[in-house]
Structure 1
Amino acid sequence: MEMDHIYGNVCADNTESYRASQATLKATTKVQIPLLIIGAILLLGVAVLGTLTYKYASKLSDEQKKFALMDAQYKNISAVLNNTDAQYKDLLATYNISSGKLSDEQKKFALMDAQYKDISAVLNNTDAKYKDLLATYNICSAKCSCRACPEGWKHHRETCYLFSSSKRNWEGSRDHCITLGGHLVIVNDQEEQHFLAAQAKDVHHWIGLNDLAVEGQWRWVDNKSLSETGVVFWFKRSNLNQADEPDNWKQEDPSGENCASISLHNGDWQDNSCKTNNLFVCETLASS
């Protein structure tokens, strides 16, 4: 009977040890598998967001639709991360409860925990870069409303300007601007005049102003008079013996000077013979 009692105790101890080992194995497996899934999701999220960030950065100024798509995908990835983070915390709590039973897996868990934190740091850094790009995009939107100009044209205040590299007479310049989808430039205010003068760099450029119809009645190519636009920048001579512009000088062309250009004198206007070949400035609205 005494031997039977000892044998019974031994069997009971082995059974309890086996059950404890099985419970530990199951708990370990439950923790490892979700954490491996979390790591895979986070790595996939970082790769996707990194690709989107690269594409967005290379086409920021003229890719508004792609930006909207990227923004939506970013929010989706953020939602996945938040959900994954909540699952991670639940698993961490489960691990802490079971830590007394999982002592053999502590090193593996510590490694996975470090990897999770590394991935989170990378994602947070990517998130910061995304926000920087978003801020840059918003600055661009505020300044230029994401409008674009044809190649070779200069953008200024919602308008595109082409400063020609070839010379034509006034009518040829007017017609060429029309073929390009614009017109000879019309000056509407002091700020635009400063911009044109700076870009012309003291070289004659035709502008869209003439008095071909009626001498002395200057009109723009859209048929508005100078009194309607309200701005006048004719060159004024300091020599009292010489007339200010427009002076309709007829020494070179008996028909007079009936077309206006930006002059060599700080970009102020002067009249010239319409037959003269000059550089010219076209303008058109920037496209959205």
Structure 2
Amino acid sequence: MQRLNVRQSQIRECIEKSLFAIDQTPHFQKGEILLLQLVKDEARDIGKLHARIEFALVYDHYEFDHTGEISRQHWPQAGKTWKYILVCSDTIPTIPFSLEAIPLSRNYAGQTNPIAISPADETVISPYIWGKMTGYDLRDTFGPSLVKETLGNYDVISRPGKQLKIIVPEHEEYYRDQNLSESLKAIYDHRCQVCGMNFKIKYDEPFAETHHINPLSQGGADISKNIIVICPNHHRIIHKTNAEFDCTKLLYRYPNGYEERLVLADHFEQKSSWG
């Protein structure tokens, strides 16, 4: 794991294209996590000193930028070029945090890129990385509010290429991020967003399903804004009637004219600073 400082004007391209640029010779391992940390003065200006890190890159390889063409293509506003372009396989969200706010053995301040994270500190930081904990553990550890912020950032970096089909003979499925589904169930405590039904109250056992508003098979994205937590009854009737979802009014409209507004809609109202 390593820390990379990034400027506000450059971070969008980094997270959308899974790229980064440095002058030092890269010494990374494929699959290594690279934390994107907003530079301190800019974080202070936009009120993010407590959340300088919201994304990480998964390193794949690097390319020489001999002519500066790649640098100018992706970061024209920077007015400079870099020797190396880090090409990463993915961008992942983190629970918003700052290295200064957690107990670490070393000080990672300064502008040098990159800075390696010690193994001991990596253990402390790891739970903040998406996919390292289940959705339920994320909620219990960091609280629903921070998980909702993370889901908002998840939606910003989700790309069509992530919605991969898994094909086996006579059957095909679309990739679903199980942690995304679990996180949504966790922040709603397994309550149905349509009717508020909570099985745990009556049966002392949490139970809910998740439903993609626009089906993955029809081009829908596996992002939080395309998913609702739902009870089995509503899940079945929505599929049976092919009810339409009004994303502006946050309600389901059935063929007979009946309308049902979501009683729980917190994650639809969550906005990301970067999207």
> How high is the TM-score relative to the length of structure 1?
0.23
Q: Which has the higher helix share?
A: 1
> How high is the TM-score relative to the length of structure 2?
0.23
Which of the pair has more CA radius of gyration?
1
Q: Which has the higher strand share?
A: 2
